[in-house]
Amino acid sequence: MDPPRTFSAALVVLDGLGDRPHPATGGRSPVHAAATPNLDRLVREGQLGQIVVVAPGVAPESDAGVFALLGYDPVRDSPGRGVLEALGVDVPLAAGDVALRLNFATGDGAGRILDSRVGRSLSTREAQELAAAITAADLLADERIRAEVRATVGHRGVLWLHPTDGRPLSPEISNADPFYDKVGGMGQARRPEEPRLRPVAALDGSPEAARTADAVNRLLDRVAPLLTGHPVNARRALRGQRIANALLVRNAGRPPAHPLPAFAERHGRRGAALTEMPVERGIARVLGLEDRYVGPMGADRAAGYRERARIARELLTEFPFVYVHLKGPDEPGHDGDAEAKRSIVEAIDREFFGPLLDGLDLGAVRLAVTADHATPAIAKGHTDDPVPFLLVGAGIPPSGRSEEFGEPAAARGPLGTRSGSDVLRLLFGTVPPDR
């Protein structure tokens, strides 16, 4: 069957979807164990396979995975996670500035990290109070660097370094965050045996990198007593909650000297992005995609997914390409909560894919469903596992397979194992789905 001359295309990225068998979900993965009638229907009506998102042996961060899925090289093309986060929250980066992704974390006071996300209980309001105190302290004034922290969502934030003496800073520095290595513009997950803050080092021989690394190390030393004594942490300690007394920073970047080729220029299609988190919003902005930022999921998950489905359908009537990023599966993967991950996958199938597919003409729309990386609950972090890849709709022959959506069916699916860079070429029909 030949595809129509023109068709709309949607790429739905389920953050951290990929998983492994887990005892809490009957020896199946949380994804495979989930009840997913809508995705199962798409397996029958389309083609299933799996993708290695970046490369074998690479456990990418979300931004690196998304860059690969959108047809860019995350090592060469990405300006860095810090810059993408900063763009997502409107930080006015200037030439010579450096931005880093930041986590508020809980440490033991001697460099060991007890919880990289403060028990996932730090509210955005609390993080904003801590960020304001750090910024007001002007901790690098003697280095002639303005250090500002912007809280984003929960424990997440951006460290923005702006030189006040006109001497540019360099992003060529290593991570203090022990859970990620920096590889070019890409962050790669690592699994330290004993997580400890790492000294930041210059990655090249430039004086700019040496100055920047030294400044970040000084800031991390100076910020610890400020955080420990802050009223936010006093109140948290009284409530028996973990305190946010450390900062994990990673993936420094700076504004690109030359803009990347826009998505429409590279792929010949205008596009829109429906995103929930600042980093994906930053990616949309740097690639020139129409920005439809809906923000993090609220308390009513069902209503949130239905609203996202409604917006996605609306965008499909306006743009030939729509990228949808749903954060849901990633967090319970990090938390090691297989049951919660299964529940979220079921909610996405029921409340997002149900309304999205209701009345949708798959003869005129081509849909891809995949993930930016795997976050197995049993591993409690990102891995390099291949992730499911489902392709269905205009011009895609139905497999007719009565299989449940999940990793086992994906591994034996007719699309085989592909690379992340294949996804848009298959979605747009520039390469045929048969191997």
In the chain, what are the domain boundaries? 8-77+260-428, 90-253
The predicted-structure confidence for 21-44, as pLDDT tens digits, reads as follows 999 999 999 999 999 999 999 999
In 10 A of CB 326, how many CB atoms?
A: 24
Could you tell me which of 316, 339, 336 has the C-alpha nearest to residue 394? 316
The first and second tokens of residue 255, run together, are 């504004």
| Helices (runs of H) and strands (runs of E) counted in the chain | 15, 15
Q: Does domain 8-77+260-428 have CATH number 3.40.720.10?
A: yes
| Kind of pairing between the strands at 416-419 and 47-52 | parallel
Round to whole Å and give the CA distance between 242 and 108.
11
Round to whole Å and give the CA distance between 142 and 199.
20
| Alpha helices in 319-390, H assignment, sequence order | 330-335, 338-347, 354-357
Could you tell me which of 415, 389, 274, 404 has the C-alpha nearest to residue 346? 404
Round to whole Å and give the CA distance between 352 and 347.
7
Q: What confidence tier does 401 reach under pLDDT thresholds 50, 70, 90? A: confident
Residue 434 has a pLDDT of 62
Looking at the predicted structure, is the pLDDT value of residue 430 above 70?
A: no
Looking at the predicted structure, is the pLDDT value of residue 2 above 50?
A: no
Contacts of 381 (CB under 8 A, 6+ apart): 59, 179, 189, 191, 333, 334, 375
Looking at the predicted structure, is the pLDDT value of residue 423 above 80?
A: yes
Looking at the predicted structure, is the pLDDT value of residue 5 above 60?
A: no
Looking at the predicted structure, is the pLDDT value of residue 93 above 50?
A: yes
The predicted-structure confidence for 313-351, as pLDDT tens digits, reads as follows 999 999 999 999 999 999 999 999 999 999 999 999 999
The predicted-structure confidence for 256-297, as pLDDT tens digits, reads as follows 888 899 999 999 999 999 999 999 999 999 999 999 999 999
Looking at the predicted structure, is the pLDDT value of residue 408 above 90?
A: yes
Q: What confidence tier does 433 reach under pLDDT thresholds 50, 70, 90? A: low
Contacts of 397 (CB under 8 A, 6+ apart): 1, 47, 433
The predicted-structure confidence for 352-380, as pLDDT tens digits, reads as follows 999 999 999 999 999 999 999 999 999 99
The predicted-structure confidence for 146-155, as pLDDT tens digits, reads as follows 999 999 999 9
Looking at the predicted structure, is the pLDDT value of residue 46 above 80?
A: yes
Burial 152-177 (b: 16+ CB within 10 A, else e): bbbbbbbbbbbbeeeeebbbbbbbbb
Looking at the predicted structure, is the pLDDT value of residue 187 above 90?
A: no
The predicted-structure confidence for 283-294, as pLDDT tens digits, reads as follows 999 999 999 999
Residue with tokens 């220029």: 265
Q: What confidence tier does 400 reach under pLDDT thresholds 50, 70, 90? A: confident
Round to whole Å and give the CA distance between 141 and 397.
63
Residue 4 has a pLDDT of 44
Mean pLDDT of the chain, nearest integer? 95
Round to whole Å and give the CA distance between 370 and 14.
6
The first and second tokens of residue 253, run together, are 């970047």
The residues facing 17 across adjacent strands are 374
Tell me phi and psi for residue 41, to 5 degrees.
Answer: -60, -40
| Kind of pairing between the strands at 271-275 and 113-115 | unpaired
| Kind of pairing between the strands at 180-183 and 186-189 | antiparallel
Contacts of 102 (CB under 8 A, 6+ apart): 149, 156, 157, 158, 159, 247, 248, 249
- For 116-142, what is the mean pLDDT? 97
When mean pLDDT is compared across 81-85, 191-195, 290-294, 413-417, the lowest value belongs to 191-195
Looking at the predicted structure, is the pLDDT value of residue 1 above 60?
A: no
- For 83-105, what is the mean pLDDT? 96
State which amino acid sits at residue 105: A
Could you tell me which of 70, 130, 30 has the C-alpha nearest to residue 340? 30
Residue 84 has a pLDDT of 96
Percent of the chain with pLDDT over 90: 93
